[in-house]
Structure 1
Amino acid sequence: MVILKKVRGWISSIVIAFVLSLIIGIFIIQPYKVDGHSMDPTLQDNQRVFISKLSHTFSYLPEYGDIVIIDSRVNRNRTFMDDVMDNPVFQLFSNKDERTFYIKRVIGKPGDVLEFKNSKVYRNGELLNEPYIQETMSYTSDEQWVVPDNHVFVMGDNRNHSEDSRIIGFIPLNHVIGKKVL
């Protein structure tokens, strides 16, 4: 009888810990491992960071320069089940070959006009001061990018080796999973 009580106590403790870890990972904070070199020199490949998911939970608009985790599948709607399955507990069972989460820097917010001239980024006609860039960007375009409502424009710090909004397009706000905090 005493052993049965101890086993029940352990099982209930494990269930409570599991539920709390899910709640924390879905709504509050989550670890993330940088995969690739698109954020060099700011973040290195395999570096571990923590992301606050509060901006995603409460639909806050990220600030200019924030480093965010995005779901790059911009042509599909995200649901609550996506948030649940993004939890590290369930990622153990997901397809590791499918890279869907990118870490990038917010460059444009709704209504901003972005231009890429002379290997530089201009937002609303003003040259951006980007001290985190080490290499001159080789990308230029005659096109003006106007960020639509409820979207952001993101770029990697390693501009010449980054799959970002220039390629995948504008990022819907509900695809901004969280903001780097540590």
Structure 2
Amino acid sequence: MLRFIKEIASWTAYILSAVAIGLAINTFVFQPTQIVGCSMESTFYENDKIMVNKLIHTFRSEPDYGDIVIIDSRVNRDRTIKDDLMDSLKYNAITSMFTKEKQDVLWIKRVIGKAGDTLEYIDGTLYRNGEALQEDYIKEPMRFFPEGKVVVPEGCIYVMGDNRNASLDSRMIGAIPLDHVIGKFAFKFN
């Protein structure tokens, strides 16, 4: 009986270690997730499964122009380690198979502007620092952009969906603080 109890304890320790390692990888390194909504069409479609590289968040790196990033849309509050843990449990492809909960705070968008950039929309074309952007990836011409010029504040990025006319993004919620950039698109899988 004692040997049986030791064996159960040993297996329990292995399983708990594996779960802890998996949670750490899912929270700080890579995370599978599923696309919800149409804001990134024609690049991604509803229910596409993607892998997110979270090292950009873990090491507080700044994404590049054109990068596809996952952001926390709750820009008027600070993010904590608790948010990282809860989001990695709640918003991944594995748990989404078992729940019907919609992903409402983490958005996938494309980086359009970085700190200090001036963005403006003139005659159907988006300009960054006076140069027209070549955006072959957008679904259709954009119909809405805030009036005047937008200057991206320090420590922030400006993001938009590829389906500009059906996307909630920086045009509505403002610039995204770098600590709200959760990860960067790595690859798509099915």
Tell me the TM-score normalised to structure 1 length. Answer: 0.93
Q: Could you say what secondary structure the match of 1:143 adopts?
A: coil
Instruction: Quote the offset at 1:137 in angstroms.
Output: 1.1
- Counterpart residue identity of residue 164, structure 1: D
2:122 is matched with which residue: 107, 117, 121? 117
Task: Tell whether the 8 Å contact from 1:118 to 1:140 is kept in structure 2 after alignment.
Answer: no
Instruction: Quote the offset at 1:47 in angstroms.
Output: 0.5
1:170 to 2:170 alignment? no
Greater shift in the superposed pair: 81-90 or 150-159: 81-90
Instruction: Quote the offset at 1:28 in angstroms.
Output: 0.4
> 1:138 corresponds to which residue?
143
Give the Cα–Cα distance (whole angstroms) in 1 for the partners of residues 47 and 90 of structure 2.
19
Give the Cα–Cα distance (whole angstroms) in 2 for the partners of residues 64 and 122 of structure 1.
13
> 2:165 corresponds to which residue?
160
Tell me the TM-score normalised to structure 2 length. Answer: 0.90
Give the Cα–Cα distance (whole angstroms) in 2 for the partners of residues 142 and 89 of structure 1.
36
5+ residue gaps, structure 1: none
Task: Tell whether the 8 Å contact from 1:119 to 1:140 is kept in structure 2 after alignment.
Answer: no
Instruction: Quote the offset at 1:22 in angstroms.
Output: 1.4
5+ residue gaps, structure 2: none
TM-aligned CA distance change 1:48 to 1:98, over 3 Å? closer
Number of aligned residue pairs: give it.
181
Give the Cα–Cα distance (whole angstroms) in 1 for the partners of residues 137 and 57 of structure 2.
25
Give the Cα–Cα distance (whole angstroms) in 2 for the partners of residues 145 and 85 of structure 1.
33
Task: Tell whether the 8 Å contact from 2:30 to 2:52 is kept in structure 1 after alignment.
Answer: yes
List structure 1 runs of 4+ shifted beyond 6 angstroms.
none
**Partner deviation per Cα, 1:32-69 (whole Å, 9 max, x = no partner):** 11100000000011111011110100110000000000
